């Protein structure tokens, strides 16, 4: 507020302030007005501002929020110092970022979780899946993060909250709703969000958050790692730096207006609901087979701005926290009779099926093979079916085949192809909100 004009002998020379909120920081260059009497003093022939100085200090604040502790790291900026010359850099607060920790490999203790092979631990101890510390506190987590990745302080004032600390195979609809509610609650408090997550089900969680919080309007970046942060060759450090780079892209040149749910991993930023895990142990473990990457992070950050969700418009923000988890995936296997393999799914409590057909939406249409009779019986009972493909790319056109046409006449839904992870989550959401059609895009998933 002191950079809007003349103030105590100083005048704004240039100003670069980006973003909104009282904690947003950029730098203003102000110059000393030597003509103002009494506001300077001479020492060795050089003008010096008569302003008190304090060293930058790290301020740590803890607060209790709904049973979860939050650790906040703030840096008080040093006051003005003109001793070195006629120009002064005045700092504004950095963007505020909330990091939500949910577990996964990134936070594991390698000494407990990994075997030691030839001096370097690289393989999980058999039968354990890794060790997840109970009662993990945000203070210890943030201390570890800032010790290994001190560069994080450059990008943002970062708060950390431990939502839970689990293997991602144990993260499902209950946890998705928990995360969505926390993000919704903190939407007006922070400028951006980073979610640390295990890799195995990360695309499911990314899809869930994008759909449940459609129109959220602020960056939510999910990331993780293939090796724990504490290991020498871990990819966690770079993934964290890249994720924070993307999450705060609006606040630094070239001021990219990224405001959606993304997955940042292995040097790529992908739309969350288009991402899939494609490799078990390589650092580039994720890909976006149905949509171009939003950014590539190397020596430079190369943004594909025309593919950002903002370019195609946002829906009004409407959070939806309910999900119906009674959904399964069924890949069509040649020769399998679904009447024997699956029987009366609806009668056993299954409400939705993602049916993975061949090619553009084809399946065996012979009555003896059972797919058409089985679909007719189950859809009449009330089973919701979404037809997708076993292919990872290309368009769906089930109407080109007899089996697909008949299925559509029964009420089976189809449309532009979603990833199977996203299709499962959207089916859960649409079952909980019957007014929301499966084929209606709400977060760039179609």
10 Å CB burial of residue 283 (0-12, 13-18, 19+) is middle
Q: Find out whether the peptide bond into 436 is cis, omega within 30 degrees of 0.
A: no
- Sorted by sequence, the CB contacts under 8 Å of residue 434 that are 6+ apart come out as none
Q: Which of 312, 318, 316, 319 is nearest to 291 (CA)?
A: 312
| CA of residue 357 relative to chain centroid, distance | 30
If you ran DSSP here, which 8-state letter would residue 144 be given?
H
- Sorted by sequence, the CB contacts under 8 Å of residue 260 that are 6+ apart come out as 210, 216, 219, 220, 271, 272, 308, 309, 310, 443, 444
Backbone phi and psi for residue 268, each to the nearest 5 degrees, phi listed first:
-135, 145
pLDDT at 53: 30
How many C-beta atoms surround the C-beta of residue 143 within 10 A?
Answer: 15
Q: Which of 255, 279, 254, 259 is nearest to 269 (CA)?
A: 259
In terms of phi and psi (left: phi > 0; alpha: psi -120 to 50; beta: otherwise), the region of 186 is: alpha
- Sorted by sequence, the CB contacts under 8 Å of residue 43 that are 6+ apart come out as none
Is 0.95 surpassed by the pTM of this model? no
Quick: pLDDT tens for 260-319: 999 999 999 999 999 988 998 888 888 999 899 999 999 999 999 999 997 555 568 999
How far lies 185's CA from each of 98, 178, 216, 272, 391, in Å?
Answer: 12, 11, 11, 21, 38
Q: Is the dihedral of CA 263, 266, 267, 268 positive or negative?
A: negative
Catalytic site positions: 105, 199
Fold (CATH) for 96-113+127-307? Rossmann fold (3.40.50)
Q: How far apart are CA 147 and CA 153, in angstroms?
A: 11
The upper half-sphere exposure of residue 236, i.e. CA atoms within 13 Å in the direction of its Cβ, equals 27
- 293 belongs to an annotated ligand binding site: no
- 168 belongs to an annotated ligand binding site: yes
Quick: pLDDT tens for 5-43: 444 444 434 444 344 443 434 443 333 333 333 333 334
Each residue's pLDDT tens digit in the chain (446 positions)? 334 444 444 443 444 434 444 343 444 333 333 333 333 333 444 333 333 333 233 333 333 344 456 666 555 444 444 444 555 554 568 999 999 999 988 877 665 655 554 555 565 555 545 545 565 556 567 677 888 899 898 999 999 999 998 888 999 999 999 999 999 999 999 999 999 999 999 999 999 999 999 999 999 999 999 888 878 888 999 999 999 999 999 999 999 999 999 999 999 999 999 998 899 888 888 899 989 999 999 999 999 999 999 755 556 899 999 999 999 999 999 999 999 999 999 999 999 999 999 998 889 888 888 899 999 999 999 999 999 999 888 888 888 888 889 998 888 988 778 999 999 999 999 999 999 989 889 999 98
Q: Where do the structural domains in the chain lie, given as residue ranges?
A: 96-113+127-307, 327-432
Using alpha carbons only, give the angle 212, 217, 219 rounded to the nearest 5 degrees.
Answer: 90
Three-state SS at 50 = coil
Q: How far apart are CA 375 and CA 381, in angstroms?
A: 10
- Angle, helices 420-432/202-212, rounded to nearest 10 degrees: 40
- Per the document, the length of the chain is 446
| CA of residue 352 relative to chain centroid, distance | 26
Burial call 262-276: b when 16+ CB within 10 Å, e when fewer: bbbbbbbbbbbbbbb
Q: Do domains 96-113+127-307 and 327-432 have the same CATH topology?
A: yes
The overall longest dimension of the chain from CA atoms, in Å, is 100
Q: How far apart are CA 170 and CA 102, in angstroms?
A: 11
Judge: domain 327-432, CATH 3.40.50.40: yes
In terms of phi and psi (left: phi > 0; alpha: psi -120 to 50; beta: otherwise), the region of 215 is: left
How far lies 202's CA from each of 131, 197, 240, 424, 436, in Å?
Answer: 19, 6, 15, 14, 24
Q: Which of 272, 104, 102 is nearest to 199 (CA)?
A: 104
Q: Which of 27, 34, 29 is nearest to 9 (CA)?
A: 34
H or E element, residue 408: helix 402-409
| Contact in structure between 193 and 156 (CB atoms under 8 Å) | no
- 379 belongs to an annotated ligand binding site: no
| Alpha-carbon torsion angle 105, 107, 113, 119, nearest 10 | 90
């Amino acid at each position: 507020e002191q950079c809007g004009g003349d103030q105590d002998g100083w005048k704004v020379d240039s100003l670069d302030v980006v973003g909104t909120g009282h904690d947003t920081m950029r730098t203003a260059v102000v110059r000393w007005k030597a003509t103002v009497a009494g506001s300077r003093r001479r020492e060795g022939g050089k003008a010096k501002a008569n302003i008190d100085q304090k060293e930058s200090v790290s301020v740590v604040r803890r607060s209790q929020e709904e049973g979860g502790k939050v650790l906040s790291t703030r840096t008080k900026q040093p006051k003005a110092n003109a001793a070195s010359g006629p120009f002064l850099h005045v700092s504004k607060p950095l963007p505020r970022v909330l990091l939500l920790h949910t577990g996964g490999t990134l936070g594991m203790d390698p000494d407990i979780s990994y075997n030691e092979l030839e001096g370097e631990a690289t393989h999980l101890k058999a039968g354990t899946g890794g060790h997840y510390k109970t009662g993990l506190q945000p203070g210890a987590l943030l201390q570890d993060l800032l010790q290994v990745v001190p560069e994080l302080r450059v990008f943002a004032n970062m708060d950390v909250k431990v939502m839970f600390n689990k293997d991602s195979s144990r993260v499902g609809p209950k946890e998705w709703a928990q995360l969505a509610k926390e993000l919704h609650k903190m939407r007006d408090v922070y400028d951006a969000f980073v979610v640390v997550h295990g890799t195995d089900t990360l695309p499911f969680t990314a899809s869930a958050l994008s759909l449940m919080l459609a129109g959220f309007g602020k960056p939510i970046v999910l990331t993780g790692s293939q090796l724990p942060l504490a290991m020498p060759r871990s990819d966690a450090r770079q993934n964290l730096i890249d994720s924070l780079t993307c999450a705060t892209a609006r606040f630094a040149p070239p001021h990219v207006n990224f405001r959606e749910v993304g997955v940042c991993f292995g040097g790529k930023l992908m739309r969350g609901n288009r991402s899939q895990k494609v490799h078990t142990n390589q650092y580039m473990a994720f890909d976006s087979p149905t949509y171009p990457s939003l950014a590539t992070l190397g020596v430079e950050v190369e943004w594909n701005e025309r593919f950002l969700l903002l370019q195609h418009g946002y829906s009004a923000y409407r959070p939806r926290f309910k999900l119906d988890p009674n959904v399964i995936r069924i890949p069509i296997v040649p020769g399998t009779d679904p009447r024997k393999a699956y029987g009366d799914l609806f009668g056993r409590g299954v409400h939705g099926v993602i049916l993975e057909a061949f090619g553009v939406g084809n399946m065996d249409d012979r009555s003896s093979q059972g797919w058409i009779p089985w679909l007719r019986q189950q859809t009449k009972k009330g089973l919701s079916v979404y037809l997708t493909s076993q292919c990872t790319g290309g368009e769906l056109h089930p109407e080109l085949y007899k089996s697909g046409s008949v299925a559509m006449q029964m009420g089976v839904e189809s449309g532009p192809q979603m990833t199977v992870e996203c299709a499962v989550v959207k089916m859960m959401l649409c079952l909980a909100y019957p007014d929301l059609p499966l084929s209606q895009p709400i977060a760039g998933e179609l």
